[in-house]
Amino acid sequence: MFPQTSRSSGEDSHSEAESHEQLLDKESSYPDYNHSRIKRLRSWTHIFLLSSVSIIAILSSFVTGAWYGSHKLGPTGQDYLQHVQHYSPILKEVDTSLHPVLFNGSFMKENDFRKGAGIEVDAAWASLGVHYRSIAIPVSEAPASGLTKSHVQIASKYGGGFPANVEGLHHLHCLNLVRQSLYFNYDYYHSKGEGAFVNEDNIVRYHVTHCLDIVRQQLMCMPDTGVLGQIWWDKKAPKAFVDFNTEHKCKNYEAIREWAKERQIPETVPVDFLMPPESIEDVMDEIP
Ligand SMILES: *[C@@H]1O[C@H](CO)[C@@H](O)[C@H](O)[C@H]1NC(C)=O
């Protein structure tokens, strides 16, 4: 594998490769001792190159390992999140790292979000920001946030930017509407005629099924790979029941909600608040 390093042995063993080299070297008029010196030099070059390659390989595996250790598998999953979170200025302004949270999977004990139609349960859902108005995404943040020149913009005299809603809050708005439309809640909200229920019944129906389907897609986008074990209950006649009180890794929802709360556009805006569409090409024929 390694070329010979001794001058004499180099002289008497002529491999096919060597004769080939000699053929190539024929044109040059180096004396024999020079040729051997070149071969010796080559052998040291080979050893040097091989050692360098090995050292680089070992070092880079350490560096990659350390990088993976601190980033990829970091306890807060911050680097992993960069690959699964769509960009919005939230990523720069809010800590979206993951923290352990114990889900409340109670079957029989109803918390405030589960209560029957009324002021109390509505207040619980309202506290999640489900009725927040749009925020304004600054023009400089628009392209990275997926907003194009075809999207609606606020007139520059009112500060400019793109009216937008945080998806995570919209998902909860949707779940709340599905809750209001449950057979045991529907009559209450329908007769109240507020929020989504100001619209005609067929529009409410579209709104509810749109919401149901958005929540479906969100759940299918990031399927929870955890598992639900089972527990025993009933001391007299033990029965198995699913344990829904499992640990999860969650972002700080409150921090994101607060970010969206502070940035809401005013409740009442002038008639010329929005920039008119730039071109008729940007105007769709129907609601997509
Ligand atoms: C879940 O919520 C219910 C109702 O608020 C409460 O009584 C119960 O203790 C909670 N369970 C857990 C495991 O936190």
pLDDT band at 16 (very low <50, low <70, confident <90, very high): very low
Type of residue at 214: I
DSSP strand pairing (247-250 vs 135-137): unpaired
Residue 185 has, within 13 A of its CA and on its CB side, a CA count of 18
pLDDT in tens, 220-262: 999 999 999 999 999 999 999 999 999 999 999 999 999 999 9
pLDDT band at 6 (very low <50, low <70, confident <90, very high): very low
Dihedral angle over CA of 24, 27, 29, 35, nearest 10: -10
Query: Which residues does a 6 A CB cutoff place in the pocket of ligand 1?
Result: 104, 106, 109, 111, 245
Measured by CA distance, the residue closest to atom 13 of ligand 1 is 104
In this structure, what DSSP letter does residue 199 have?
S
Give the ligand 1 atom nearest the CA of 106: 1
Give the ligand 1 atom nearest the CA of 110: 4
Q: Are the beta carbons of 37 and 6 closer than 8 angstroms? A: no
Ranges 33-47, 126-140, 258-272: which has the least confidence: 33-47
**Mutate which of 102, 107, 109, 245 for ligand 1 pocket (most atoms within 8 A of beta carbon):** 109
Tell how far the Cα of 218 is from the centroid of ligand 1, in angstroms.
26
Tell how far the Cα of 187 is from the centroid of ligand 1, in angstroms.
28
Cβ neighbors of 23 (< 8 A, separation 6 or more) are none
Tell how far the Cα of 105 is from the centroid of ligand 1, in angstroms.
8
- Give the C-alpha separation, 203 to 178, whole Å: 14
Specify the higher pLDDT residue, 236 or 56.
Answer: 236
Measured by CA distance, the residue closest to atom 14 of ligand 1 is 104
Ranges 72-76, 85-89, 152-156: which has the least confidence: 72-76
CA angle (268 as vertex; 128, 165 as ends), nearest 5: 40
pLDDT in tens, 145-161: 999 999 999 999 999 99
Give the ligand 1 atom nearest the CA of 245: 13
Cα 243 → chain centroid = 28
Q: What is the mean pLDDT of residues 196-214?
A: 98
